[in-house]
């Protein structure tokens, strides 16, 4: 199963696994797929630590890193992270902070210990924080690809990544965004449909993938959004995708760092239980629907802020629900796609890769048999 992008990256299967867990990156790449570490939640120092660990454990296999440099965000242009943080913090209305406290209190989510600093919530999604991440990434030779979410990376970053011999790509949710990526000279595009987990647009995968493929051909397109089994993978390849880019699937694997309360939420959810909500990040992001997402939908509650202000405004919710998961599932941030309805047990990452491949081959065989003459 070798598509052009497999050849270029030297991998066996065109299965890309987006994850925030280094153990999953290693397990997927070692199983013949391609692990991609999500960098947005890490400081530059922590990202270096994660990549050093992966380098040590991944053997000769390659892996990728995903950054989040949005085309539009509050405070764009300020490249000093400390100044940006101060400016943005001053922009957060008290009303929002009060509302967050109120929702957490109503749900009995404990406060953090007095000596624990929750951090600002600025995270990696600004140029001020993402550009230094790229400099760190380029110090790690086993990283052979960088992907960007929420926009086309700036020309100097594209040049810097490509001239280091790595591929650079970006996610898109419309053919027009894909065309902008192609014009900017990216090496590949990831077409993410509505049903996918995390930030997602409003066109379903079945409609989006072929449109993006036609728009940017012959540029390789990876299909994302709603892939949970090998039949869906076969469909994506049949439409002309060069591989599949998956995210939700890896939240419930043995190597993932999801806590037991989160796992339970994923296992009990059906495909109807997700919603696209701006309540955590400020941009439409698919996650499990719960009291938190519902609270932000009410007419009498504050409007969500832009990125990254909303994430900074709700920092207490993020940190406290991570620290006290058993008490906070009703308000926790559980980004996941509609495939959550089929994620019902813990599996090893290598088994997920193998089952995707086997079921994909079975599906393609079944299709071929439709055309046999005997
Ligand atoms: C928990 C979670 C976090 C995500 N965070 C990011 C991110 O930081 N950057 C990014 O490019 N995509 C992110 N995504 C989207 C994935 O890269 C991928 O496109 C998406 O999960 C594919 O759809 P699927 O969930 O149906 O597999 C995230 C997805 C999930 C489930």
> Domains in the chain, please, with CATH?
4-71+125-255+344-369 (3.20.20.70), 81-120+277-328 (no CATH)
| Distance from the alpha carbon of residue 114 to the mean position of ligand 1, in angstroms | 33
Predicted pLDDT at 126: 87
Digits of tens for pLDDT over the chain (374 positions)?
Answer: 789 999 999 999 999 999 999 999 999 999 999 999 999 999 999 999 999 999 999 999 999 999 999 888 888 888 888 898 999 999 999 999 999 999 999 999 999 998 988 888 877 788 888 999 999 999 999 999 999 999 999 999 999 999 999 999 999 999 999 999 999 999 999 999 999 999 999 999 999 999 999 999 999 999 999 999 999 999 999 999 999 999 999 999 999 988 999 999 999 999 999 999 999 999 999 999 999 999 999 999 999 999 999 999 999 999 999 999 999 999 999 999 999 999 999 999 999 999 999 999 999 999 999 987 76
Ligand 1 atom nearest the C-alpha of 336 is: 31
CA dist 105 and 307 (Å) reads: 25
Let me know: does 363 contact 234? Beta carbons within 8 Å: yes
DSSP reduced 3-state for 81? helix
Closest C-alpha residue for ligand 1 atom 21:
247
Let me know: does 138 contact 161? Beta carbons within 8 Å: yes
265 preceded by a cis bond (ω within 30 of 0): no
Predicted pLDDT at 121: 81
The model's pTM? 0.96
Ligand 1 atom nearest the C-alpha of 171 is: 11
Closest C-alpha residue for ligand 1 atom 3:
198
> Ligand 1 site: residues with CB under 6 angstroms?
18, 38, 40, 66, 68, 149, 171, 192, 195-198, 224-227, 245-249, 251, 335-337, 339
CA dist 361 and 35 (Å) reads: 21
Predicted pLDDT at 118: 86
| Distance from the alpha carbon of residue 245 to the mean position of ligand 1, in angstroms | 9
Predicted pLDDT at 127: 86
| Distance from the alpha carbon of residue 68 to the mean position of ligand 1, in angstroms | 11
Predicted pLDDT at 75: 87
Q: Which residue among 153, 172, 196 is best mutated to probe the pocket of ligand 1, counting the most ligand atoms within 8 A of its Cβ?
A: 196
Percent of the chain topping pLDDT 70: 100
Closest C-alpha residue for ligand 1 atom 15:
198
Predicted pLDDT at 70: 85
| Distance from the alpha carbon of residue 298 to the mean position of ligand 1, in angstroms | 27
| Distance from the alpha carbon of residue 149 to the mean position of ligand 1, in angstroms | 9
Q: Which residue among 71, 168, 195, 247 is best mutated to probe the pocket of ligand 1, counting the most ligand atoms within 8 A of its Cβ?
A: 247
| Distance from the alpha carbon of residue 171 to the mean position of ligand 1, in angstroms | 10
Query: How deeply is 12 buried, as exposed, middle or buried, from its count of CB atoms within 10 A (0-12, 13-18, 19+)?
Result: middle
Beta strand segments in the chain, E:
15-19, 34-38, 63-68, 143-149, 167-172, 188-192, 198-199, 221-224, 243-246, 274-277, 285-288
DSSP reduced 3-state for 68? strand
Let me know: does 284 contact 275? Beta carbons within 8 Å: no
């Amino acid at each position: 199963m070798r598509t052009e992008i497999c050849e270029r990256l030297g991998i066996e299967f065109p299965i890309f696994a987006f994850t925030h867990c280094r153990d999953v990156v290693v397990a997927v790449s070692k199983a013949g797929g391609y692990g991609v570490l999500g960098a947005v939640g890490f400081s530059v120092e922590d990202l270096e630590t994660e990549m050093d660990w992966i380098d040590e454990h991944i053997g000769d296999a390659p892996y990728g890193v995903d950054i989040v440099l949005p085309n539009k965000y509050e405070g764009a242009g300020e490249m000093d992270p400390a100044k940006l943080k101060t400016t943005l913090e001053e922009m957060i209305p008290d009303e929002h902070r009060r509302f967050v406290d109120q929702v957490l209190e109503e749900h009995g989510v404990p406060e953090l210990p007095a000596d624990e600093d929750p951090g600002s919530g600025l995270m990696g999604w600004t140029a001020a924080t993402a550009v230094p991440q790229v400099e760190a990434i380029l110090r790690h030779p086993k990283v052979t690809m960088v992907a960007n979410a929420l926009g086309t990376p700036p020309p100097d970053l594209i040049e810097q990544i490509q001239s280091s011999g790595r591929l650079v790509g970006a996610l898109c949710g419309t053919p027009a965004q894909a065309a902008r990526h192609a014009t900017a000279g990216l090496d590949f595009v990831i077409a993410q449909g509505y049903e996918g987990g995390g930030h997602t647009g409003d066109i379903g995968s079945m409609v989006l993938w072929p449109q993006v493929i036609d728009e940017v051909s012959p540029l390789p397109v990876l299909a994302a959004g709603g892939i949970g089994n090998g039949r869906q993978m076969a469909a994506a390849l049949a439409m002309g995708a060069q591989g599949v880019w998956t995210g939700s699937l890896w939240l419930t694997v043995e190597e993932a760092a999801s806590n037991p309360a989160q796992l339970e939420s994923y296992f009990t959810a059906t495909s109807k239980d997700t919603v696209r909500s701006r309540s955590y990040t400020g941009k439409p992001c698919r996650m499990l629907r719960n009291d938190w997402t519902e609270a932000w939908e009410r007419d009498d509650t504050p409007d969500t802020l832009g990125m990254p202000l909303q994430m900074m405004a709700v920092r207490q919710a993020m940190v406290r629900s991570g620290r006290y998961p058993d008490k906070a599932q009703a308000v926790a941030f559980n980004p996941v796609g509609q495939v959550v309805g089929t994620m019902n047990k813990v599996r090893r990452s290598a088994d997920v890769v193998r089952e995707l491949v086997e079921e994909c081959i079975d599906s393609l065989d079944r299709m071929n048999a439709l055309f046999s003459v005997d």
